[in-house]
Structure 1
């Protein structure tokens, strides 16, 4: 790999600050969390969710044993049980909205999601969110009565979210973690839309949304079996980018450095704490022409990604449960049933979420108002704004990152101390992309923030 020119750092603040030793790079808690989720717990929850017969958004809401109403009440009760085990550390409640006059929801229907909020100890208005979907569907998207087990799509993602709450509720973090069971996904992403709207109304500073949609299948329709890879999809440019910001990005770069994209890079780094797992970043908001519950958060201006299995089996998605005999005599099975879920793999992808949430919630908030200058100069200067001390009592300082413009991941970094700007001497701004991350005293880091509106995670 060709290396960028060596960096000579000149700090405009006190020299002693520049010489502060960086925090430790090993994070033993994350290694512990990387094996903490239980495959048995996930299997139990997936089986319970499948047992409701159908969880279609338009299905029965009154029955105690079948339909979307029974399913969401069970999820509420399960979050409540988890909260009781941690001394009431979770605020469990419903988030709902009414939809009508839409192609997939013609009549007035209340779409009800369930969330559990684990309040942060120092910066409670900074939120990191993990989500899975409650609902399921059969071949006909309007069929609210036929069995639609939805074992992988998406009982697996919801079971992972419940298990993440079990694991992380044993700890306390500076930032707030939300575990969200979102409804109405198959009918139009309504649960995510309503939660994103509530987050905007309440003024939540949403740093990350990890949407888990199908995390249990290891055998693709192409015949490939893979239990050691996850995919993370992320948008390249912000959905809320203005025309003026787009014009600036055209000249300064940032097409590959939205906050969602740098969140995806962060998740890929976190995979080192999960045994036998790597992340394949996909430079697309979602699968080609398809959607998921992270999209409403992107559209509200929040960093959000989709975490999912590496290989999909389309016969097990959006299909009535059935078998068909092919002309050559082979039998083809359709339907999203329990035999298509690998619970150990689902636990592994849950662990990826768990270590990411813990790292994000432990780290200081990402640096705000990151700026860069150095045109027609041998040097490059980065500047940023530090948070109020009360929001980041664990802040140790900052690390500057850089990479070749064609590199998918940040390849170089340098600890610069607790400063608010740095000049990189003899480093040409034209030849690399740069960013800044905040570092906690225990070594936890925020995502890397690319300079300017293209990469901003927001303010304090």
Structure 2
């Protein structure tokens, strides 16, 4: 299979000591101008048992995403506050994309979107990439067994501690693996994201007009304009258009919108949140 971009698989070093490997790689990517569309950090994804709660669940996986970029300028903060797009940053849009594509291709797996960067008292290799302005999320099992994390392999009073192969749920792990591959493949086969996406705000109207520029590289077959209620975490409608503009009979005051490109085989790009313009 030939992809339209490069897929990179990385095993980071020095995570427990201070995210050293990820920090170095994210800094290098920024300095060298890498076109990183998405960083998916898989950290703790092979267990389906929750200690204390005794929950056994091999059908759910969490995707953690931050809402607001740490690199926002004062002007960007003002624009976000005016539009109310606190849940439409790069990472949140990527998380929605992961959920839609993964649940399309992987049976018996529900992707749970967690609206925070990471768990309490924890951190991960996606964070340095977020701090450099890239779309980055963390993928983690739904229920955790802390007897298998941060433990020296040992036996105490007949109980085994440590991250041992016999405690991996391999059926669950293969679902998470397929989730990663489906998302990476769908994104890598798509065209790039549309550019300069704008929602027009020149006058008072009960319709919504959007315009954008074609992406770099391969020409898309068309575009999806996505729409959802302001209280909805997920996209609810998709409108297909072939032009670089669309006018919808829905008020921009009442909904959130996004635009993504799509190729002739239905592979979608990430969604771009429009900025207000004239």
Q: Normalised by the size of structure 1, how large is the TM-score?
A: 0.57
| Partner residue, 1:191 | 21
Q: Distance in 2 between matches of 1:289 and 1:256?
A: 23
1:410 is displaced (CA, Å) by: 0.2
The counterpart of 1:300, out of the listed 120, 123, 132, is 132
Say whether 1:392 aligns with 2:223.
no
Give the aligned length.
273
Over the aligned positions, Cα root-mean-square deviation in angstroms equals: 1.5
SS at match of 1:423: strand
* Alignment of structure 1 residues 8-407 onto 2, 5 Å: 171-221=1-51, 222-271=53-102, 272-325=104-157, 332-374=159-201, 376-388=204-216, 391-393=217-219, 395-407=220-232
Provide, for residues 392-418 of structure 1, a one-character-per-residue CA deviation record: whole Å limited to 9, x for no partner.
14x10111000000111001011011x
Q: Report the alpha carbon displacement of residue 199 of structure 1 after superposing the two structures with TM.
A: 1.3
- 8 Å CA contact 1:237–1:254 kept in 2: the answer is no
Aligned-pair CA distance for 1:332: 4.7
Indicate the residue corresponding to 2:244 in structure 1.
420
Aligned-residue offset at 1:333: 3.8
TM-score by length of 2: 0.94
3-state DSSP of counterpart to 2:227:
strand
CA shift for structure 1 position 289: 3.1
Contact 1:233–1:306, Cα closer than 8 Å, also in 2: yes
For residues 199-241 of structure 1, the C-alpha deviation after alignment (integer angstroms, 9 at most, x for no partner) is: 1222111110111001100101121001111110011111211
Is there any run of 5+ residues in structure 1 with no aligned partner, and where?
Answer: 1-170, 326-330, 454-460
Structure with the greater alpha carbon radius of gyration: 1
Q: Which residue of 2 aligns with 1:79?
A: none
4+ residue segments displaced more than 4 Å: none
Unaligned residue ranges in structure 2 (runs of 5+): none
Distance 1:364 1:259 in 2: 17
User: Structure 2: how far apart are the matches of 1:217 and 1:302?
Assistant: 28
Aligned equivalents of 1:213, 1:452: Cα separation in 2: 33
Query: Who is 1:450 aligned against?
Result: 273
1:63-85 superposed Cα distances (whole Å, 9 cap, x missing partner) = xxxxxxxxxxxxxxxxxxxxxxx
